[in-house]
């Protein structure tokens, strides 16, 4: 178990032959969640896990957590029923509408993409990730993370090379 999950008291549960972390609920949140920057990859995964329920994951949904200038979560935005075969056009349009407002306030975003199964990123997942990177760069907004969310869990995609250490 990760340190964040341990700190939050999230336990594991067995589903068939697989062991999963129990899904986060609003009761699992630390009391100071509104003051925590969403810069820790484990906390990011937990937030995506929380805002992207199973229905959203199964429907190929997209979730964005809009964050303030200190990277604290302000407002989740969740869209469902995005076909798995969808290209990045819709995501680009959404980000081009939203990110100028986030950028004006020196904010950041955390993004999750839902899929029915599997945690290994596909070429389409990587295209969506690159679309998010490009849109954030275009609008001067920090992309805190991009995660793939499936019933098997939540997995972060790698940071852009320009940010990776």
pLDDT of residue 139: 97
For 110, what's the count of Cα atoms within 13 Å in the CB-facing half-sphere? 32
* List of domains in the chain: 37-156 (3.40.140.10)
Report pLDDT digits (tens) over 32-82.
878 899 999 989 998 999 999 999 999 999 999 999 999 999 999 999 988
Q: Which of 11-25, 99-113, 128-142 has the lowest mean pLDDT?
A: 11-25
- 19 has pLDDT over 50: no
Average pLDDT of span 82-100: 92
Helix axes 89-104, 123-139, angle to 10 degrees: 30
- 163 has pLDDT over 60: no
Mean pLDDT value across the chain: 82
- 23 has pLDDT over 60: no
CA distance 88 to 17: 35
Long-range contacts of 68-73 (CB under 8 A, 24+ apart): 68/105, 68/107, 68/108, 69/105, 69/106, 69/107, 69/108, 70/37, 71/37, 71/38, 71/39, 71/108, 71/142, 71/144, 72/34, 72/35, 72/36, 72/37, 72/38, 73/33, 73/34, 73/38, 73/47, 73/110
């Amino acid at each position: 178990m990760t340190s964040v999950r341990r700190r939050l008291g999230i336990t594991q549960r067995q589903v068939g032959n697989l062991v999963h972390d129990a899904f986060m609920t609003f009761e699992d949140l630390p009391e100071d969640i509104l003051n925590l920057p969403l810069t820790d990859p484990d906390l990011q995964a937990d937030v995506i896990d929380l805002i992207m329920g199973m229905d959203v994951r199964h429907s190929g949904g997209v979730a964005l957590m809009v964050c303030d200038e200190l990277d604290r979560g302000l407002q989740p935005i969740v869209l469902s029923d995005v076909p798995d075969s969808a290209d990045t056009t819709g995501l680009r349009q959404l980000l081009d509408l939203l990110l100028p407002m986030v950028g004006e306030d020196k904010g950041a975003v955390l993004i999750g993409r839902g899929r029915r199964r599997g945690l290994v990123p596909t070429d389409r997942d990587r295209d969506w990730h690159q679309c998010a990177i490009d849109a954030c760069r275009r609008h001067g907004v920090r992309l805190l993370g991009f995660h793939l969310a499936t019933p098997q869990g939540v997995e972060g995609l790698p940071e852009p090379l320009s940010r990776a250490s």
